[in-house]
Amino acid sequence: MTANDSQKPVTKAVIPAAGLGTRFLPATKASPKEMLPVVDRPAIQYVVQEAVSAGLDDILMITGRSKRALEDHFDRIPDLEASLKEQGKDALLESVQQATALGELHYLRQGDPKGLGHAVLRAKTHVGDNPFAVLLGDDLIDEKEDLLERMITAQEATGGSVVALMEVPQEQISAYGCAAVEAVEGEEYVKVTGMVEKPKPEEAPSNLAIIGRYVLHPHVFDVLENTPPGRGDEIQLTDALETLGQGSGEGEGVYGVVFNGRRFDTGDKLSYLKANVILAAERDDLGPGLRSWLKEFVQTLPEG
Ligand code: UTP
């Protein structure tokens, strides 16, 4: 499929952040996993920043039971700002204001967390008839990467929907949606010929995992409306994309951009810990102290 004249630019982003976060209990008992700090900012702030850096200035967050903390984080706190200003704590003031300067944020509750597909479907009215990006609120892509920009370019070129793919060890594929792909001559993106949510390693069509970035054609909403609950009794975005990928009409077809940069799943305890250590070790303020302590600490670790 090729892009046609009806192709509209991608300006909107949807950030689903309404999942239950059971993998991170008990920390997520009363607050959303997206609010867990990575170094000194909640994970969600990196994700919103990524969307804004890719030129998406209209952001809809799909929230759940702990909506309050997410909304508060991106809101102004005049008392705190005044107090920091009075005390001359300019760096802290700037860090507080960073989150509020990120552009236009909208919020919508999912209601029942009936799956990622259901969360995305909730965005239908807000998104309208435009292609849009979806960024999972617990998935961190290194800020030096241009994955989202590459995906937007692929969406504009194909007029279809685009997923982000990452090679993972075969034994880990059952934690992800998995895609079968074929090359598209002369293009950086690939055609996705099949998708399956969390397959057993021996049944997986490849070792390409679908990670938490999508750029979707609005036709996905029609498909989601007719997608029955699948794995885990949840409405799966992967199932809707599998249907979309089988068609060849306008707005159909699914493509993949393969990513081999740095990504952290902050909803997973080990990946979350690694994100904190790696990102802090690279910081100018915390890096020197952390790196020298880490070197000493590593010497004390037992083998294995
Ligand atoms: P996950 O697959 O990580 O599920 O969701 P989860 O419920 O959040 O976490 P675990 O597996 O129980 O630990 C992937 C993304 O989809 C969102 C989540 O917030 C996360 O960003 N999501 C998932 C929703 O917004 N609503 C849902 O019903 C399910």
3-state secondary structure of 114: coil
Q: What is the pLDDT of residues 124-167, one digit of tens each?
A: 999 999 999 999 999 999 989 999 999 999 999 999 999 999 99
Q: What is the pLDDT of residue 6?
A: 65
Mind giving me the DSSP string for 214-247? EEE-THHHHHHHTPPP-GGGS--HHHHHHHHHH-
Taking a C-beta distance cutoff of 8 angstroms, is the pair 167, 14 a contact?
no
What number of other Cβ atoms are within 10 A of residue 11's Cβ?
14
- Our answer on whether the CB atom of 177 is closer than 6 Å to any ligand 1 atom is no
- The protein residue with its alpha carbon nearest to ligand 1, atom 16, reads 116
In the chain, domain spans: 12-267
Peptide bond into 131 cis (omega under 30): no
- Our answer on whether the CB atom of 245 is closer than 6 Å to any ligand 1 atom is no
Taking a C-beta distance cutoff of 8 angstroms, is the pair 271, 138 a contact?
no
Taking a C-beta distance cutoff of 8 angstroms, is the pair 148, 213 a contact?
yes
- Give the C-alpha separation, 285 to 280, whole Å: 9
Kind of pairing between the strands at 37-38 and 177-183: unpaired
User: What does the block give as tokens for 30?
Assistant: 């009363």
- Our answer on whether the CB atom of 36 is closer than 6 Å to any ligand 1 atom is no
* pTM, full prediction: 0.93
Q: What is the pLDDT of residues 216-235, one digit of tens each?
A: 999 999 999 999 999 889 99
For ligand 1, the distance from its centroid to the CA atom of residue 269, given in whole angstroms, is: 14
- Our answer on whether the CB atom of 220 is closer than 6 Å to any ligand 1 atom is no
Q: What is the pLDDT of residue 281?
A: 97
Q: What is the pLDDT of residue 64?
A: 87
Taking a C-beta distance cutoff of 8 angstroms, is the pair 43, 138 a contact?
yes
CATH architecture of the domain covering 12-267: Alpha-Beta Complex (3.90)
- Our answer on whether the CB atom of 70 is closer than 6 Å to any ligand 1 atom is no
Ligand 1 nearest-atom number relative to CA 137: 21
Scanning 87-190, the segments in alpha helix (DSSP H) are 90-100, 116-121, 124-127, 147-158
For ligand 1, the distance from its centroid to the CA atom of residue 20, given in whole angstroms, is: 6
- Give the C-alpha separation, 62 to 49, whole Å: 16
